[in-house]
Structure 1
């Protein structure tokens, strides 16, 4: 049986074309609208309608809801820590050393596999849709959408910089200035395909940071991203001379930390349905808490 979402047109939206209403008010993508049109999945007051028809106050719009038939990954039993969940999305706390989703030769053991199993146990079938990524060694907040429309809305917020991501990092050195913006482009490394580098003709990359604590030879800093280039934080920190501790690719390995000292501490976004701003936080994991304590002890 087909399932429809129902919307009533408000007076302030009267005069918009149906296509404008779908795109700007309900935030359906152009591709999704085309697909719904082919499926005869858009009804206005119970009837099929042209997209250029202007809507009126109190019109009732019904839009076909897609029914996912598979998860897109193989469900696998494993632990997931849910920081936030509603009908449209989840925020999970990713542990270090775990991939967000299958890639290359790795098809199991990812956060996506474990989430698929978690939803399967609840009788929920939905494609696993990560809205953004974290490196394997980075811990913290990852957002997953439960349907394609929610994914589109959240990805638009990411593009428009209204979805905000905050990170904590331990770096080598006393950062100066203590707060600043790093605005240098990033592109592929000229000789190593799996690395990125600062390049004059690379993609724009903007990272804001400020210092939370300084120790004898290290600093704990908070970073906010305007862009999401691969390895952005790690490349930018190395570029300004304060490499990430524990990072064997761009930073400095240490005997007392077995992975890069980077944690996605929070995400902020506007709720898919009511646009209320929500902030979700992930506590600093035990290994990074110990690393901070170690830096503090060297300070005393």
Structure 2
């Protein structure tokens, strides 16, 4: 699933490539992807793209009249087909993922793809991005300049909810998903299943710095990476996520898998939970090692 660092790198490239381009034509292949039933995707035709922006995991293509907002969902992404030579800028599996919608501008076609078995891509044609329900409910963004320790305290400190679930809740924090929540918690040396209301002041401080630094470093690392290579760059950069059974580069222990929210996550028991297994924890264990 694309998360805020990759989406930020994506919108910066789209802004550079598409700003000032009029939309020559649109094509909606999968009608279920369009969430604004009262407004056809065709109203975008003829309008000029004025810029690209990010709201959490959402991509906003600003137009000279309104906005086209895209949620990439779990399996969505974009690919560029160059008009001059027909070259497709995408890598497997994105190169073969079906395009559910597309915009043609001067120079080529931007396709919105979905590689999943169900439609997770979403499109909204709106006057303002805040009209999209998911954007209207977004919590503070750890990549925003004003993100502070107070934001962490408000979203975490009194929550009797597992910490990993809080990080992935878009109403608590914007832009974090399964992968970066694993990386943030490993960096902060906190158990993924501890409840937010059990964290000490020191642990909350570590969480704040881990969120801010992990995501901002990831954005800097993704800038300039071609769109078709962004997801692979994300996977290659992970310290614990997707590395179950491998050696933790910090402590030398073994990274473990555990089931979480219908998917699989990873953590280091030695670094994050004093050797205790997350699968056996009731969520009330210590937040991490000091």
Q: TM-score, normalised by structure 2?
A: 0.32
Give 1 or 2 for the bigger CA radius of gyration: 1
Q: Work out which structure has the larger RCO, using CA pairs closer than 8 Å and 6 or more positions apart in sequence.
A: 2
Q: TM-score, normalised by structure 1?
A: 0.31
Comparing both structures, which one devotes a greater share of its residues to strand? 1
Comparing both structures, which one devotes a greater share of its residues to helix? 2
